[in-house]
Structure 1
Amino acid sequence: MKVYDEKFIKNIAFVGAHNSGKTTLAETMLFEAGLLNRRGSVEEKNTVSDYQSIEQERQSSIYATPLHTEWRNYKINIIDTPGLDDFIGEIASTMHVADSIIMLINAQYGVEVGTEIIWNYIDRFNKPTVFVINQIDHPKANFDESFNSLKNLVGKNAIKIQYPIVINGAQCIVDVLKMRLYKFKPDGGKPEKLEIPANQKELAEKLHNELIEKAAENDENLMELYFENGTLTEDEMRKGIKIGMLNNELFPVFCVSALKDMGSGRLMGFIDNVIPAAADLKPQLSVENKEVFYNPKDQTILFVFKTVHEPNLGKISFFKVMSGTLNQNDKLENSRKGDVEVLNQLFIMDGKKRELVESLHAGDIGATLKLKVTETNDTLHPIDHKITIKPISYPEARIQKATSAQDKKDDEKLNEVLRKIESQDPTVNFNYSKELKQQILSCQGELHLAIIDWT
């Protein structure tokens, strides 16, 4: 597999309310890029992202799942997250390593309670965000109402890049950045690119000019060009949009039908050309107050953001390369424990599929197997050069329940299971109550508890 540097890696979190279409969009993007021969579906229980049996049974994402696609010389790392706040810990872990966010809105409902809960949580991270209004082809879809509900959520900084129309029964998308019309066949796929029809010209020009003004106001040089020429080129607009996203002063709004593969290719092009990469972000401050840059030539630093225990593989540790270049068989020290870990194998993970790689550069996301002492929130750094990435802050537990083995002889087995659950999900806590003489389980809600019981 090609090794990408920090300028050509985009780490994107897919977030949104339950049933907004995150998993379907991720599947479509992998298909669009040619990494899948056939798209799976949530209903058929065969998507790349929702591969756990409990997810397939419930037809709903429960775990944050890393996967990737490649599009026009860029690598897009996608982390598909659950839409229910019982699993907010999965979103918390994802936010820590994502460079940008794509939040999906169901065009039938607009901003939902679940959307607000997730937005109120992720807004504190100040990550560049794109809103994607999905299911535009649904008979009950209402794009305008969905967009208005979005403006009520985030304010005037939500700016349309696209809007949907239907022409002679054909689903179309008007793109006011490129000033083109995309016309789709009934089953979607690659669109026909056409001139914007006369009856849409006035609206498209109005939205185009609003986008120009919003892009220009984010940079003094662009503002001068705008005053001199009365407009901006497409490349100048892209530059202004990126600056606005980095400043959290511009939230582009796209529209798609993820199920029918309408608009996904154009969205991927925008991710490549505009959405900030790791290299565009400000350096992070470590616990020791040192700046950490996404530079492949600096010392190698990893941050472990997720741990999974698989029956046949053992412990899988997911990490982001915060700095330097990681090579197979590298030895790094755990900042919390002081132990040296050997990373014998490096993988790119797409759901349950593993692709072996020899190296990963700063800004990339990967996984390794069977680390001895390393857990979620740990930093791995060069031996005797301690540095600690600031840890993920998880929400406090909301409910508690006493738990015990039915047979006292199984206490040891129960404790082993509980340790693995706690390792996988830091929003779950187990404490022994001397008063009750039982283990007390703390978690996020009744659904979260049900999933733990299933585990």
Structure 2
Amino acid sequence: MTTYNSTNIRNIAIVGHSKCGKTSIAEACLYKSGSIGRLGKTREGTSALDYEPEEIKRKMSINTSLGACEWQGYKINLLDTPGYPDFTSEVQAAMSVSEAALIVVSASSGVEVSTTKAWHYAQKLSLPRAIFINKLDREYVDFNKTIDELRATFGKGVVPIQIPIGQANSFHGVADLITMNTKVLIKNKTQIYDIPDYMKSAVDTARHMLLESIAEFNDELLEKYLDGKEITETETAAALIEGIVNAKIFPVLCGSAEKCVGFRQLLNSIVEYMPTPYFKTSVGVNPLTQEIEERSTEDAFSSFIFKTVVDQFIGRTSYVKILSGSITENSTLYNPNEKKLND
């Protein structure tokens, strides 16, 4: 089993309204990374993440499922949450142990009730957010209209870093506004090309929107932008990371889980732009002194149990987020709630 430093780990909560395609997106990430050999589908009951009998029967997520994949030397933990309002506590628990949230929006439905609820809860936690517009292969979808709705609802910090190539049945790739190239799916392989002439106007408009947003909180880039000087790919990426970490910029990615289009780019973006747990400081109560303390990843061991499930065959299983330090097999830990040591 590969051991990862905390700098090479990404913990992402996938949240959004019911039926927007959260589980399908997590499934596509696992498939594209090679973690699973077959792309399952929720509606067919073959998803690797919706495996409970009730979830298979209802064709919807009821519990938060954890899926993990390896990508370019990084480990990405995906917490796939239910979108139905009755399971809000599952969403909140997943966000509390994540360093970022991926808010999924269906291109055919736009911003919905649970989309807004997930956004506001992430806002309370000051959680960095990215948005993924799914189902761009559907009929009568309008990417630009969805972007306008997102910006009207959540502010001008919402900016696309990709735009789709084609629409409805002809949707087959994305144009990257950071690297300024296009990535298209041809015979199940991603091919990279220069921006075609017919897309340059749309790309220039979207890129100006991106540069305007990141320049607002970066004085150096603002000066270059106002002077009409070129802003390099490296400068754009660095400013984007700064904006994401400080929850000022919320990048919009796009694709289709059904066609598995846009997921190599999504995985790359998670690795390149989303925050690592290494720099996150956790705040909690010291069980011995009852004083509030801050702990970083290198301090003594502390953890938080964010989910416990009971199985009739294997018994009680708890999901633990390690906040600081490390744990080894057969460790004895102090439980502050019960005020005793637990094996």
1:305–1:320 CA contact under 8 A, matched in 2:
yes
Q: How far has the Cα of 1:164 moved from its partner?
A: 1.3
- How many angstroms apart in 1 are the aligned matches of 2:253 and 2:162? 5
The aligned runs of 1:378-417 (5 Å cut-off) are: none
Aligned counterpart, 1:291: 294
The aligned runs of 1:197-212 (5 Å cut-off) are: 197-212=196-211
2:175–2:181 CA contact under 8 A, matched in 1:
yes
1:84–1:169 Cα change, 3 Å: closer
Letter in structure 2 aligned against 1:62? I
2:159–2:250 CA contact under 8 A, matched in 1:
yes
Letter in structure 2 aligned against 1:332? L
1:105–1:111 CA contact under 8 A, matched in 2:
yes
Q: How far has the Cα of 1:322 moved from its partner?
A: 0.3
2:101–2:122 CA contact under 8 A, matched in 1:
no
Q: How far has the Cα of 1:93 moved from its partner?
A: 0.8
- How many angstroms apart in 2 are the aligned matches of 1:3 and 1:231? 41
Q: How far has the Cα of 1:228 moved from its partner?
A: 8.1
Aligned counterpart, 1:39: 39
Aligned counterpart, 2:288: none
Aligned counterpart, 1:334: 335
CA offsets, 1:59-98, max 9 Å, x none?
0001111111110011101100000111001011111101
* SS in structure 2 at match of 1:191: strand
1:323–1:136 Cα change, 3 Å: same
2:9–2:74 CA contact under 8 A, matched in 1:
yes
Aligned counterpart, 1:112: 112
2:10–2:271 CA contact under 8 A, matched in 1:
yes
- How many angstroms apart in 2 are the aligned matches of 1:112 and 1:92? 18
Could you say which structure has the larger radius of gyration? 1
Letter in structure 2 aligned against 1:237? T
Aligned counterpart, 1:365: none
2:244–2:273 CA contact under 8 A, matched in 1:
no
Q: How far has the Cα of 1:221 moved from its partner?
A: 5.3
Aligned counterpart, 1:129: 129
* SS in structure 1 at match of 2:18: coil
- How many angstroms apart in 2 are the aligned matches of 1:116 and 1:81? 15
Letter in structure 2 aligned against 1:87? F
1:212–1:231 CA contact under 8 A, matched in 2:
no
- How many angstroms apart in 1 are the aligned matches of 2:68 and 2:170? 34
- How many angstroms apart in 2 are the aligned matches of 1:246 and 1:321? 20
Q: How far has the Cα of 1:203 moved from its partner?
A: 2.6
The aligned runs of 1:29-108 (5 Å cut-off) are: 29-108=29-108
1:33–1:172 Cα change, 3 Å: closer
1:170–1:184 CA contact under 8 A, matched in 2:
no
Q: Which runs of 5+ in 1 are unaligned?
A: 343-455
Task: Point out the more displaced range, 140-149 or 81-90.
Answer: 140-149
Sequence identity, in percent? Answer: 31
1:327–1:225 Cα change, 3 Å: farther
Q: Which runs of 5+ in 2 are unaligned?
A: 286-290
TM-score, length basis structure 1? 0.70
- How many angstroms apart in 2 are the aligned matches of 1:169 and 1:26? 23
Letter in structure 2 aligned against 1:147? I
- How many residue pairs align between the two structures? 337
- How many angstroms apart in 2 are the aligned matches of 1:81 and 1:199? 39
Aligned counterpart, 1:2: 2
Aligned counterpart, 2:191: 192
1:99–1:278 CA contact under 8 A, matched in 2:
yes
Verify: 1:277 aligned to 2:276, yes or no. yes
1:152–1:39 Cα change, 3 Å: same
Letter in structure 2 aligned against 1:148? D
Aligned counterpart, 1:260: 259
2:183–2:192 CA contact under 8 A, matched in 1:
yes
Letter in structure 1 aligned against 2:128? P
Q: How far has the Cα of 1:222 moved from its partner?
A: 5.0
CA offsets, 1:13-70, max 9 Å, x none?
0001111111001111111111111111112212121111101100000111111111
Verify: 1:26 aligned to 2:29, yes or no. no
Aligned counterpart, 1:358: none
* SS in structure 2 at match of 1:47: coil
CA offsets, 1:127-159, max 9 Å, x none?
100000001011132212211211121011110
TM-score, length basis structure 2? 0.92
- How many angstroms apart in 2 are the aligned matches of 1:69 and 1:228? 43
1:170–1:106 Cα change, 3 Å: closer
1:262–1:29 Cα change, 3 Å: same
RMSD: 2.0
The aligned runs of 1:236-251 (5 Å cut-off) are: 236-251=235-250
- How many angstroms apart in 1 are the aligned matches of 2:182 and 2:231? 20
Letter in structure 1 aligned against 2:308? T
Task: Point out the more displaced range, 97-106 or 141-150.
Answer: 141-150
The aligned runs of 1:128-147 (5 Å cut-off) are: 128-147=128-147
Q: How far has the Cα of 1:99 moved from its partner?
A: 0.5
Verify: 1:316 aligned to 2:317, yes or no. yes
- How many angstroms apart in 1 are the aligned matches of 2:171 and 2:215? 34
Letter in structure 2 aligned against 1:247? N
* SS in structure 2 at match of 1:10: strand
* SS in structure 1 at match of 2:182: strand
CA offsets, 1:315-370, max 9 Å, x none?
1010111001111111110011122112xxxxxxxxxxxxxxxxxxxxxxxxxxxx
1:148–1:212 Cα change, 3 Å: closer
Task: Point out the more displaced range, 235-244 or 247-256.
Answer: 235-244
Aligned counterpart, 1:389: none
1:136–1:256 CA contact under 8 A, matched in 2:
yes
CA offsets, 1:207-264, max 9 Å, x none?
2233234334434555567678823322222221111112221110011101111001
Letter in structure 1 aligned against 2:15? V
